[in-house]
Chains A and B, each alone.
Chain A
Amino acid sequence: MSKWHFVTDGFVKNNPTFVLVLGMCPTLATTTSAMNGLEMGLATMFVLILSNIVISLIAPMVPDKVRIPVYITVIATFVTVLQLLMQAFTPAVYETLGLFIPLIVVNCIVLGRAEGFANKHSVGESALDGLGVGLGFTASLTVIGIVREILGSGAVFGWKFISGDGILAFVMAPGAFLVLGFLMVLFNKYLAKK
């Protein structure tokens, strides 16, 4: 019970998208639909949990001056493995997200959690933190995706309820910034009330 807050912290108080405002590149680029946002979030969560676990394990043995190269190598390994697995078993998902999967390596959420959390905490706590931040990122991306898909294509998760075209701008980059901005305001207003 006492460790449960590591998960909820990542989800609400340290929400990577709406509070820490990290990892904006995949956030803005892949959330053209709810499904894309969800898949990108899950892919990032996979890397986050594994890299957090491994980095918390090896942190005591890594000399301070080379810790960043070591962390990046570990993260890049998991991203490459993920990329190969997606290519092999979910080729359709890989086709939509392909370009953004290698970019998870430089996603500052992953390195940020490695540097800011995993190298100071135990394996279990780091895994929970990876899960929490990963879920927070996934939920944020899915919500942005849902809003953009409703406004931009008149659909949710590919299920179309308005015939015809939506507001095109919301499928493209300007709409991504608008939706992100408004959701960030709402989220922080809700946080401030609590």
Chain B
Amino acid sequence: MAAASTLKNMALCLTAVCLICSAVVGGAYAVTKDPIDAAARAKTTASIAAVLPSFTGTPEEGSINVDGADYTYYKADGAGYAIISTTSGFGGALTLMVGIDEKGVVHNTTVLSHSETPGLGAKCTTDTHFMEQFRGFDPAAKTLAVKKDGGDLDAITASTITSRAYALAVSNAVNVFHKLTGGQGNE
């Protein structure tokens, strides 16, 4: 039989339950904090390694403000820069890691997070033809925009907005690279 619903009982019961639950959540947080940080770091390291030519040593983290937006970048000696670039896709923020080698050529790109439509825009993480276009893309020789906008990139079928956002993110990263190295932007 349940305890009587007197004010005292109710207050005691809720307080006790909340205290115990907070302790459990606090404990879980303390136990998982290090693995969570490690997992986040491992992911960053893996994406830097994926977008840049092989390098030795630890990439140096930094941040820079270009055209009113803050960018985080990682400088790897002898390999170039990995720049985190965010634009608006179809469903929300589209965040890429863009690797640019020391000559200013895009080495590779990878999607860090997105909220594009499954089966349409979300293909920006699986459509190899689309992603391969950015591998070795030289922004000095070609235009970083989809063909519909007069550029040199094939868009993902039925996902022009996502493709535009992707191209813009890479293009922004190229501008950040030029700002970092003191050269001219591509626009």
Chain B residues numbered 95-111 whose CB sits less than 8 Å from any CB in chain A:
none
A91 touches B39 (CB 8 A): yes
Measured between beta carbons, the chain A residues less than 8 angstroms from B24 are: 77, 81
Q: Which residues of B contact A60 (CB under 8 A)?
A: 1-3
Q: Which of A142-168 contact B (CB under 8 A)?
A: 152-153, 165, 168
Contacts of A59 in B (CB 8 A): 2
The B interface is mostly helix, strand or loop, or mixed, namely helix
Chain B nearest CB from A117 CB (Å) reads: 16
Within 8 Å of chain A (Cβ to Cβ): is B68? no
Q: Which A residues, 61 to 92, have Cβ-Cβ distances below 8 Å to chain B?
A: 61-67, 69-70, 73-74, 76-77, 80-81, 84-85, 87-89, 91
- In this complex, how many residues of chain B approach chain A with their Cβ under 8 Å: the count is 28
B2 touches A64 (CB 8 A): yes
The answer to whether A65 and B21 have CB atoms under 8 Å apart is no
- Distance in angstroms from A179 CB to nearest chain B CB is 14
Residues of B within 8 A of A140 (CB): none
Q: How far is the CA of A62 from the CA of B18 in the complex (A)?
A: 13
User: Bound complex: CA of A88 vs CA of B86, how far in Å?
Assistant: 25
Count residues on chain A whose CB falls below 8 Å from chain B CBs.
Answer: 32
Given the interface contacts A74-B21, A88-B36, does A63 sit within 8 Å of B29 by beta carbon?
Answer: no
Chain A min CB distance to B47 (Å): 12
B17 and A84 contacting across the interface, CB-CB below 8 Å = no
Min CB gap B118→A, angstroms: 5
In the assembled complex, the CB of A111 is this many whole angstroms from the nearest CB of chain B, namely 15
Q: Nearest chain-B residue to A78 (Cβ)?
A: B24
Write the chain B residue with the least CB distance to A87. Answer: B36
B28 within 8 A of A: yes
Are B2 and A172 in contact, CB atoms less than 8 angstroms apart? no
Judge if B69 is at the interface, Cβ distance under 8 Å. Answer: no
Some 8 contacts from A to B, beta carbons below 8 A apart, are: A32-B119, A58-B17, A65-B10, A73-B21, A76-B21, A77-B21, A85-B32, A87-B36
Q: Could you list 4 further interchain pairs (A-B, Cβ under 8 angstroms) beyond the known A62-B2, A63-B13, A84-B28?
A: A74-B17, A77-B25, A80-B25, A172-B117
B interface residues (Cβ-Cβ under 8 A, vs A): 1-6, 9-10, 13-14, 17-18, 21, 24-25, 28-29, 32, 35-36, 39-40, 43, 113, 117-120
Closest 10 pairs between A and B when the two form their complex, measured CB to CB: A88-B35, A171-B119, A88-B32, A77-B21, A65-B5, A63-B5, A81-B28, A91-B39, A84-B32, A63-B9
